Amino acid sequence: MTDAISSAAGLARPRPARRDIGIKRRYAAERRFRAYGIAALTFGIVFLFLLVSSVVSKGYTAFQQTMITVPVEFTEAIIDPKNERADNPQKLMTANYPLLARNAVARVLGVAENDRAGLRDVNKMISDGVRSQLRDMVVANPALIGTTQTVSLLAAGDLDSAFKGQISLDVPEANRKVNDKQVGWMNQLAESGALAKHFNTGIFVNGNSSRPEAAGVGVALIGSFYMMLIVLVLSLPIGVAASIYLEEFAPKNRLTDLIEVNINNLAAVPSIVYGLLGLAVFINFAGLPRSASLVGGLVLTLMTLPTIIIATRAALKAVPPSIRAAALGLGASKMQTIFHHVLPLAMPGILTGTIIGLAHALGETAPLLLIGMVAFVANYPTTPLDPSTALPVQIYMWANEAERAFVERTSGAIIILLLFLIVMNVGAILLRRRFERRW
């Protein structure tokens, strides 16, 4: 617009006096309100970010593991000195494999066979886990005996920590788990390339172990997977069914009020009490095995139900009555009305309840305590009836370990749990987005 035009406009008839509707003040309020919203959202997300970044910064190193790659001589004299393996396969199982590893590393480092102190130090650099590592190699292929193979051996947890720089070398030698000699050897091996960090698949697939370098969340992952499956399969349908009954069918009377109050109240029951319940009902009464993920899943289902029911009821309430009237007026039965129209519209809320409920169940330790799932379990469960643990339990137990190397693994396990959570929720979140619509 040009000046000429705007001045011409100015000549026009006088504007009617405007009412004062406090527009400035109200806009300020509007901006403030909006700012509160942004601030609140930012607050939440910043804290999430802080939490996650503190976990990640502590835990990302857990996904690497120091290995010592050396030629190992599978000496027959050590494995099977009397050559009995043909008659007694058991022999191969119980041989002194760690000695093979120690000798191999000592040879590379040039430690004399009679330097007992030196050999002990060398031994402490290698994980005890090599026993099963080498044993499994030999049992799988007895022909290895007498040959020399290049093997990547697990480094001991302390060496791993030292190599990752987590043990301060300024501390007096007596006060740290790795002595100067070992540090020297470590550097020597690292320079020659024999000692290096590799991706730590073990933390994903191994069972729990008292040795940090060999510990993994494999069993806990399976356990959590079983439990979440059980929780999902049971609590979603049961929760939705219960909500439908209470919200749509139940006569509104004292009894249903009682049920409603009761469900709200169940959400306030401390989770460990669900453990007591599980112990009494599922283990002592029904005779299900201890430490089984089936029992854990059932207990967590009961714990999750109130969340899902409350969320679902709120969502059902929010569906406008005109939709129900429309369907009923067409001759749809109440059931059809609910399942065809009301439920799809309530779906976002239901899924939110499920997401939150499952997330809660995934991170919960206390109820598992009394049913024996806060436990050291080394063997993989094959069915939900076998003993297993869960991810938060593993985190809880590792957090209480004394060894330094468990600190990073604890954070590593938390990262894995968060990944698990995200994978678990992505489906539900996508589904929820599909169901969301504005009127």
Partner 1 sequence: MNMMSEAAVEKALDEKMNEVSYKMVGRDVSVYYGDKRALFDVNLNVRENTVTALIGPSGCGKSTFLRTLNRMNDTIENCRVTGRITLDGDDIYDREIDVVELRARVGMVFQKPNPFPKSIYENVAYGPKIHGLARNKADMDHIVEASLQRAGLWTEVKDRLHESGTGLSGGQQQRLCIARAIAVSPEVILMDEPCSALDPIATARVEELIHELRANYTIVIVTHSMQQAARVSQRTAMFHLGQLVEENETDKMFTNPDDQRTQDYIMGRFG
Partner 2 sequence: GAAAARDQVQIAGSSTVLPYAKIVAETFAETFPDFKAPVVESGGTGGGLKAFCAGVGEGTIDIANASRPINKNELEACKAAGVTDIQEIRIGYDGIVFAAASSNGDMKIEPKDLYNALAAEVVVDGKLVANPYKNWSEINPTLPQGPIAAYIPGSKHGTREVFEEKIMAEGCKEAGAQEVIKASITDAKQAAAKCVAVRKDGAAVDIDGDYTETLARIAANKTGLGVFGLAFYENNMDKLKVATVKDVVPSVETISSGEYPVSRPLFFYVKKAHLGVIPGLKEYVEFFVSDDMIGPDSPLAEYGLVAAPDDQREQVRNDVLAGKTM
Partner 3 sequence: MSTSILLLILAVIGVAAYAAGVWRANAIARGASSRMHSRPGYYGSFVALWALLPALALLVLWLIASPLYINAAVRSEFPEEVTTLSQAEQGLNFGMVSSLARGMSVLSTEEIDRIGGDPAELRAALGARGVPLAGEPKPFMVQAAGELNQMTAASRTMVTVAALAVSLAGAFFGLSRVAPRFRARNKVEKAVLASLIVASSIAILTTIGIVLSMLTEATHFFTRVPAWEFFFGTVWDPRFAAAGATASEGQFGLIPLLLGTLYIGFVAMLVAVPVGLFSAIYMSEYASRQVRSVAKPLLEVLAGIPTIVYGFFALTAVGPFLRDLSSQLNGLVTGNYANFIQAQSVLTAGFVMGIMLIPYVSSLSDDIITAVPRALRDGSLGLGATRSETIKRVTLPAALPGIVGAILMTASRAIGETMIVVLAAGVAARIQWNPFEPMTTVTVKIVSQLTGDLEFTSPQTLVAFALGITLFAITLCLNIYALYIVRKYREQYE
Question: Which strand (E) or helix (H) includes residue 204?
Answer: helix 202-205
Stretch that binds partner 3, among 45-53, 101-109, 172-180, 185-193 (CB under 8 A): 45-53
Q: Which does 130 bind (CB under 5 to 8 A by kind): partner 2, partner 1, partner 3, none?
A: none
Quote the CA–CA distance of 65 and 157 in Å, as a whole number: 9
Binding-site string for partner 2 from residue 9 to residue 48, where x marks contact by CB under 8 A and - marks none? ----------------------------------------
Is residue 54 involved in binding partner 2 (CB under 8 A)?
Answer: no
Query: Which tokens is 311 given?
Result: 């969320």
Phi-psi region of 379 (alpha: psi -120 to 50; beta: other; left: phi over 0): beta
E strand spans, 31-63: none
CB of 375 to partner 2, least distance (A): 4
Q: Residue from 281, 385, 428, 431 that binds partner 2 (CB under 8 A)?
A: 385
Binding-site string for partner 3 from residue 371 to residue 410, where x marks contact by CB under 8 A and - marks none? --------------------xx--xx--x-----------
CB of 132 to partner 3, least distance (A): 18
Q: What residues line the site for partner 1 (CB under 8 A)?
A: 1-5, 8-9, 12-13, 15-16, 19-23, 26-27, 30, 252, 321-334, 336, 340-341, 345, 437-439
Q: Which does 202 bind (CB under 5 to 8 A by kind): partner 2, partner 1, partner 3, none?
A: none
Q: Which is closer to partner 1, CB of 30 or CB of 180?
A: 30
Q: Which is closer to partner 2, CB of 101 or CB of 350?
A: 101
**Of residues 103, 122, 127, 121, the one with CA closest to residue 113:** 103
Question: Which strand (E) or helix (H) includes residue 329?
Answer: helix 321-329
Rg of the Cα trace of the chain? 32
CB of 221 to partner 1, least distance (A): 40
Binding-site string for partner 2 from residue 99 to residue 128, where x marks contact by CB under 8 A and - marks none? -----------------------------x
Contact 393, 374 (CB under 8 A): yes
**Of residues 360, 382, 384, 380, the one with CA closest to residue 371:** 384
Q: Residue from 190, 399, 428, 431 that binds partner 2 (CB under 8 A)?
A: 399
CB of 51 to partner 1, least distance (A): 34
Quote the CA–CA distance of 186 and 70 in Å, as a whole number: 13
Q: Residue from 162, 230, 362, 371 that binds partner 3 (CB under 8 A)?
A: 362
Q: Which is closer to partner 3, CB of 196 or CB of 366?
A: 366
Quote the CA–CA distance of 166 and 185 in Å, as a whole number: 17
Q: Which does 56 bind (CB under 5 to 8 A by kind): partner 1, partner 3, partner 2, none?
A: none
Q: Which is closer to partner 3, CB of 42 or CB of 150?
A: 42
Is residue 431 involved in binding partner 3 (CB under 8 A)?
Answer: no
Query: Which tokens is 424 given?
Result: 């678990």
Contact 161, 25 (CB under 8 A): no
Stretch that binds partner 2, among 75-83, 192-200, 289-297, 300-308 (CB under 8 A): 289-297
Query: Which tokens is 332 given?
Result: 């749809």
- What residues contact 421, with CB distance under 8 A and at least 6 apart? 359, 362, 363
* Number of residues that make up the chain: 439
Considering only residues 296 to 335 of the shown chain, the ones binding partner 3 according to CB under 8 A are 302, 305-307, 309-311, 313-315, 317-322, 333-335
Q: Residue from 233, 378, 419, 430 that binds partner 2 (CB under 8 A)?
A: 378
Stretch that binds partner 2, among 1-9, 80-88, 243-251, 397-405 (CB under 8 A): 397-405
Torsion angle of C-alpha atoms 130, 134, 136, 142, degrees rounded to 10: -170
Is residue 276 involved in binding partner 3 (CB under 8 A)?
Answer: yes
Strand partners, 195: 68
**Of residues 257, 273, 254, 248, the one with CA closest to residue 345:** 248
Dihedrals φ, ψ of 311, to 5°? -65, -40
Quote the CA–CA distance of 165 and 159 in Å, as a whole number: 10
Quote the CA–CA distance of 122 and 124 in Å, as a whole number: 5
Contact 406, 322 (CB under 8 A): no
Considering only residues 198 to 257 of the shown chain, the ones binding partner 3 according to CB under 8 A are 237-239, 241-246, 249-250, 257
Contact 183, 177 (CB under 8 A): no
Q: Which does 260 bind (CB under 5 to 8 A by kind): partner 1, partner 3, partner 2, none?
A: partner 3
Query: Helix, strand or coil for residue 387?
Result: strand
Q: Which is closer to partner 1, CB of 15 or CB of 116?
A: 15
Contacting residues toward partner 2, per CB under 8 A: 93-94, 128, 131-132, 135, 167-168, 171, 174-177, 208-211, 283-284, 287, 289-291, 369-370, 372-379, 385, 387, 397, 399-404
